């Protein structure tokens, strides 16, 4: 057991602890994808997974492991301890490879970029720019997203 998963056991009641084997496959995919993000909204969560529907993201946001700050730019947050446990999963039968994580990070970065591009049509926002840069630069660094032009 890692230090993060031990801390998670202290922070959350048993019913709220994420265990990838206890969720449907689509939800495990979504949980892994959004664990790459510091914060998200339904559109960003859905685009990061590559799923065309928002319903799986909506169901995930209704679970107790997701917190919501109603007035935030991206209102949904997955606690860092949960994100760490999800990313460190090496035991489930459908665990992700490094390539899977890289592809999800690429989708997340593209979704963040698309939110910025769409927002500039409506009028740019300094708050959104800073949020996009923070998440985008961290994703690019952590997953070595260097050659995105091709």
Report residues of the chain scoring pLDDT below 70: 1-22, 122, 148-150
Residue 89: per-residue pLDDT: 84
Residue 10: partners with Cβ closer than 8 Å, 6 or more residues away: none
pTM over 0.85? The answer is: no
Residue 110: partners with Cβ closer than 8 Å, 6 or more residues away: 47
């Amino acid at each position: 057991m890692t230090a993060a998963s031990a801390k998670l056991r202290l922070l959350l009641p048993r019913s709220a602890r994420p265990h990838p084997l206890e969720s449907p496959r689509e939800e495990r995919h979504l949980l892994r994808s959004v664990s790459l993000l510091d914060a998200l909204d339904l559109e960003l969560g859905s685009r990061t997974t590559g799923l065309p529907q928002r319903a799986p993201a909506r169901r995930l946001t209704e679970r107790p492991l997701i917190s919501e700050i109603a007035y935030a730019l991206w209102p949904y947050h997955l606690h860092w301890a949960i994100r760490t446990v999800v990313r460190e999963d090496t035991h489930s039968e459908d665990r992700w490879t490094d390539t899977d994580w890289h592809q999800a990070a690429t989708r997340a970065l593209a979704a963040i970029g698309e939110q910025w591009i769409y927002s500039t049509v409506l009028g740019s926002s300094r708050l959104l720019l800073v949020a996009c840069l923070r998440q985008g630069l961290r994703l690019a660094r952590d997953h070595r997203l260097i050659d995105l032009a091709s």
